[in-house]
Structure 1
Amino acid sequence: MKLSAEVQAFADRLGHRFERPALLLEALTHPSVSNTVRADNQRLEFLGDRVLGLVMAEALFSADQTASEGKLAPRYNALVRKETCADVARALDLGDVLRLGRSEMMSGGRRKEALLADAMEAVIAAVYLDAGFEAARKIVLRSWGDRTDRVEQDARDAKTALQEWAQGKGQQPPRYVLVDRSGPDHAPVFTIEARLQSGQSATAKAASKRQAEQAAAAELLTSVRGN
């Protein structure tokens, strides 16, 4: 089976030569275009999630021989969460080669965080099935790049830091309230307000609720620390 020029270019960016190109095509196929003779990427996503998890757990375990489970866990979560997977997918221009049904294509599926994250995990599984764990490990570590170096900063995100600040002041954990949702379905904008028990608050907008919550938490954290 010969890959199209676009898909082959993606494989080149990924850095893996597929002995079984059908695995890559399956990884790039969203359920919206699957049928009885064309498999989608959901099963591969399931496997790729586990392969990614093992690669990152092993890398973190080896990188810091003294870190406790309590320190390793948030680092791990930061590296395998959907937002990170989608970010890696964007860096590889994975969205350009996703095979989507008409409805998903019209609704901006190539840019959707969940679709990109799922497809990235499926691609990892495709590499694993094509060439084994070591090949998958190399692809994951290369694709994640310096994210593994800055994981300590990413692991302690703004929401975590704000909650720790609030607890240190004897307050209840912050609350996050959806103030507004605007924009079309394929490109929504969420406005979130972060509120402390003391009455202090801050709002922020982003393309996902989680990003908006993080941004609002960061804004509020800056404000309370400044005061």
Structure 2
Amino acid sequence: MEPDRNDILSKLAPETRAWLEQSGFTVGDEALWHAALTHGSMDEDQDYERLEFLGDRVLGLAIAAWLFERELSPEGTLSQQLNALVSREMCARVGRGIGLGEHVRISKQARSDGGADSDNILGDVMESLLGAHFLEQGFAPSADLVRNLWRPAIESGAGRDKHPKSALQEWAAGNQRKPPVYEVTDRSGPDHAAKFTVRVTVHKVGEAEATASSKQEAETAAARAFMEKFA
């Protein structure tokens, strides 16, 4: 017999409910939180995708308001910090910090392919949990939760340095070079644990490659590698 959706976490995964509450989430409707942790590979009626859409907006507004309060920086610098703090890579880093990977509901095949430690999946699930928290608790408590979970990142100065792609663009312009060109040279792995290799080239200077779990992150890493090599 299937467990009642109202207490599905308590019956199927009591340790997951305890972990959520220890991490700062307030759990009410267990079916909602069950969905927030469920990857599409489980082939169930509900997964985290819709909650991730909502949580992405909750996170963005919470971080934007926080930066506005604590920083006197101009808009461009605030945007640079915001983009770094809400990136999938940062969401995944926060998720790893609280042990999220152990509690993601993902198929055996997807887990064996590395999905439970994928930046894509961990980042999305982290946002879906914020979406669930927002639906049950509202914005103010969710913003407080974001501040608690993201405090180490913001206090470490994440996003204060110029983004590698912007830095490379400016370096190329300042050295009278053509703009950098990014090219995906390889894509491997299943969708839930994909790996992208990107090459960035500056004409008559050189090239650099990097691999990451998304095209955007691979471009960023390639730009960083180029700057370290040529700038």
What does residue 169 of structure 2 align with?
Answer: 163
Structure 1 window deviating more from structure 2 (97-106 vs 53-62): it is: 97-106
What does residue 123 of structure 2 align with?
Answer: 117
Structure 2 distance, partners of 1:18, 1:86, is 21
| Letter of the structure 2 residue corresponding to residue 163 of structure 1 | Q
Gapped regions of structure 1 (runs ≥ 5): none
Structure 1 distance, partners of 2:42, 2:51, is 16
Q: CA deviation at 1:126?
A: 1.2
Structure 2 vs 1, CA of residues 152 and 18 (structure 1 numbering), >3 Å: closer, same or farther? same
Q: Which of 61, 68, 71 pairs up with 2:68? A: 61
Task: Show the 5 A alignment for 1:1-227.
Answer: 1=7, 3=10, 4-35=13-44, 38-64=45-71, 66-149=72-155, 150-153=157-160, 156-181=162-187, 184-185=189-190, 190-225=196-231
Q: Deviations over 1:96-134 (max 9, x none)?
A: 111124553343321222222221111001111222222
**Alpha carbons 2:212, 2:218 under 8 Å: kept:** yes
Structure 1 window deviating more from structure 2 (160-169 vs 38-47): it is: 38-47
Q: CA deviation at 1:69?
A: 2.3
Number of equivalent positions = 220
Gapped regions of structure 2 (runs ≥ 5): 1-6
Structure 2 vs 1, CA of residues 126 and 176 (structure 1 numbering), >3 Å: closer, same or farther? same
Structure 1 distance, partners of 2:58, 2:193, is 31
Structure 2 distance, partners of 1:132, 1:16, is 12
**Alpha carbons 2:207, 2:226 under 8 Å: kept:** yes
**Alpha carbons 1:14, 1:139 under 8 Å: kept:** no
Structure 2 vs 1, CA of residues 213 and 105 (structure 1 numbering), >3 Å: closer, same or farther? same
User: TM-score normalised to the size of structure 2?
Assistant: 0.82
| Letter of the structure 1 residue corresponding to residue 34 of structure 2 | L
User: TM-score normalised to the size of structure 1?
Assistant: 0.83
